[in-house]
Amino acid sequence: MNKKAFIFDLDGVIVDTAKYHFLAWQKIASQLGIEFTPEHNEHLKGVSRVRSLDIILELGKIKATQEDKNKWLIQKNEDYLSYLVDMDQSEILPGVFHILEFIKEKNQLIALGSASKNARPILEKTGILPLFDAIVDGNDVSNAKPDPEVFLRAARLLNTSNENSIVFEDSVAGIQAANTANMVSVGIGDKKILHEAKYNFSDFTFMDVSFIEALCLPNPSKGGAL
């Protein structure tokens, strides 16, 4: 039987770092006098650092020099990293580890598909790096989600077809990327926001292993196994 590729986004799916990205961007925005709300932040989820800054500047109708942009990008990342200094296993979101372990038990493949350039140290700090058969992050791709490049690369590294790949995502851009790639999209978070996902769970504590088991069957998206 062909193995399935279970591709996980990182921020907001495996670890609760989405809140740290938000706090760090909010600091930059308030410095620039731009109102930046959690609703605005939804548009930044899954989006690269550079593009995120552009979105914030567009929001405040601010034109900036490349020099200023570089300065804010460095400041944002330094601030973000300061939240990660003491990071350990306790930052893994509830239910995730259980699902990762179950996928391993079932002898299926696990990949990371993240826009973050900080992904590897986070996987190391939380102790789950060895569970991953492939890692594709912001250092490996040139096109940010909703472009499917990050997931296509992950599937290719695992030698798996797109149809046999399942993507777990908390961002609209990530769900769109998975759908464009013809992969099975699983939204983790608010169903109203992630309505384009094929399946949806508020978080991993709502996901029973039987869901993963059904996805391991051949063609779950076509056979209606779920």
> Which residues are at the interface with ligand BG6 (CB under 6 A)?
10-11, 21, 44-49, 52, 77, 114-118, 138, 171
Whichever of 4 and 49 has its CB closer to ligand BG6, that residue is: 49
Whichever of 17 and 165 has its CB closer to ligand BG6, that residue is: 17
Binding site for Mg ion (CB under 5 A): 9, 11-12, 170-171
CB of 47 to ligand BG6, least distance (A): 6
In degrees rounded to 5, what are phi and psi of residue 219? 45, 55
CB of 56 to ligand BG6, least distance (A): 11
Which of the choices Mg ion, ligand BG6, none does residue 29 contact, using the CB cut-off of 5 to 8 A by kind?
none
Catalytic residue status for 11: yes
Whichever of 115 and 155 has its CB closer to ligand BG6, that residue is: 115
CB of 2 to Mg ion, least distance (A): 27
Residues annotated as catalytic are 9, 11
